[in-house]
A = this chain, B = another copy of it.
C-alpha cells in the first residue's frame, strides 16, 4: 500500500497516461506516430525523483517538471507532442484515481482475508456458549460463533461497499482545461482509460467530480467503524473480570515496564484509535466536493494527505485485525463461569414466558419472576432452586417444566439457521 503512494509510482502512472495519450493522438493522426513511439523509450527507465523535484523548485509546477524530465530522457524533439491538448489535471486526477483503485484492490483483499479468519473462528466456536449482554449486563445465552458470524456479516457488507467504492473512483478524464474536449478528442480519453483499467468520466470539468471521492472516503470511514466495533468487543472480553478471550501474547513481548502479569489488549485498543484516524478523512473529503466553477485547488492538499494516510492506515488496521482474530485465545470455560455468575438469573426471560403461556397474566408473571430474581440478586440464592420452592410458581409449572427452562440447548437451537443465512447453505 505504501508503494502505491511513492513518488516513483506516481511518476510511473503519469508516464503511462502520457504515453497512452500519445498513442491515441497518433492513431487519430494528430501527432506523428514516431513521436508517440519515442515516448515508450522511457518504458523501463526509472525516473529521477530528485531531478524532478529540482526542476519543480524552479517551475513551481509538478507536471511541467515531470514533462521536462521526460524530455531529458527521450529527447526534446521527440517529446514535443507529449501532453498536447491536455491539462495538468488530466494527468493528476486520472493518476489519483488509479492510485485509489489500486488501494481499493488491496483493501478488498484485506477484507477477504479477514472474512476467512472470521469464518474459520465462527465455525470453530459455533457451539461455544457464552452469555449475551445488553447494556453490559447479562441477558441470554448466545455463542461465540454467533459473535464471529455477525462480524463476518458486517465485514461482508463492507466488502460490497468497498467494491462499490472502487467502482466509484475507477474513472479517468482527459478532457482539457474545462472539460470540453476542445483541444483533444474524446477518443484519447477512452483509450487512456481502457489502458489504465478505468472507465471515462462521463462529464468532467478540469477535474473529476469530487462527490466520487467523498463517497469513497465515507466508505473507508464505515469500514473503520466496523473495525472499532470488533475491537471494542475484544477489549471487553479481555477485561480482567471478564477474561473470555485474549489477544495472542508472544513470548518475548513485555506488556508493561513494571507489571509482568498484565496482558493488555493493546492491539485492539490501537485499532480503536486507527478507526478514528481513518474516520477523520470523511468530513474533509465531503468539504472537497464544492469546488469553485470548473475547479479550484483546495481539494489537493487534503487529498495528498488523506489519500495515502487513510488507505495505508486502513490497510494496516485490517491486517492487524485479521491477525488478532486468527490468533485470538478464547476461554470457553471462563465463558461458562461468567454465565453462571448469577446462578440462573439469565433464564428469567424463559420462565416469564412459560408463566404467560401457562395462562398467568403478563403482569402477574412479571411479579412472580421478579420476586424470585431479587432473592438471587440480593441474597445470593440460586434462581432455579427458588422457583422450585415457590408455591405460586409450582401451581402453574411442574418441576420438570422448570428444569427444562434452564437447558442451554434451547438458546442454541437456531444457530445453524443463522449460520446458513450468513455463510450460505452448506
Contacts and interface: CB of A to CB of B under 8 A. Distances in A.
A212 interface: yes
A146 B180 contact: yes
A60 B251 CA distance: 11
B418 A203 contact: yes
Contacts of A134: 177-178, 205-206, 256, 262, 264, 293-296
Contacts of A281: 280
Given A181-B414, A214-B225, A254 B376 contact: no
B283 A282 contact: yes
Given A183-B353, A211-B158, A136 B59 contact: no
A177 B218 CA distance: 31
A123 to B, nearest CB: 14
The main secondary structure of chain A at its interface with chain B is helix
Interface in A178-210: 178-183, 186, 200, 202-206, 209-210
A136 B239 contact: yes
Given A180-B415, A183-B349, A272-B296, 9 more contacts: A135-B296, A146-B179, A153-B203, A186-B414, A228-B290, A232-B292, A241-B341, A258-B353, A273-B298
Interface in A331-378: 338, 341-342, 345, 348-350, 352-353, 356-357, 361-362, 366, 369-370, 373-374, 376-377
A275 B183 CA distance: 35
Given A139-B206, A202-B418, A350-B182, A261 B342 contact: yes
Interface stretch (A7-15, A76-84, A104-112, A389-397): A76-84
Contacts of A366: 260
Contacts of A85: 353
Interface stretch (A36-44, A45-53, A95-103, A405-413): A405-413
B178 A257 contact: no
A286 interface: yes
A127 interface: no
Nearest to A250: B60
Interface in A130-150: 131-142, 146, 149-150
Contacts of A300: 269-270, 273
Nearest to A243: B241
B222 A180 contact: no
Contacts of A280: 280-281, 283-284, 306
A149 B202 CA distance: 10
Contact of A135 (B242, B262, B356, B376): B262
Contact of A341 (B84, B240, B257, B290): B240
10 contacts: A136-B292, A137-B262, A137-B263, A139-B178, A150-B205, A153-B209, A157-B212, A180-B415, A229-B290, A232-B290
Contacts of A236: 136, 292-293
Contacts of A241: 239, 241-242, 338, 341
A152 to B, nearest CB: 8
Given A135-B265, A301-B270, A417 B259 contact: no
A98 to B, nearest CB: 20
Contacts of A113: none
B295 A135 contact: yes
Contacts of A150: 179, 203-205, 209
A127 B21 CA distance: 28
User: In this complex, which of A88, A134, A286 has the most chain B Cβ atoms within 10 angstroms of its Cβ?
Assistant: A134
A111 B80 CA distance: 46
A310 to B, nearest CB: 10
A281 B228 CA distance: 18
Contacts of A161: 215
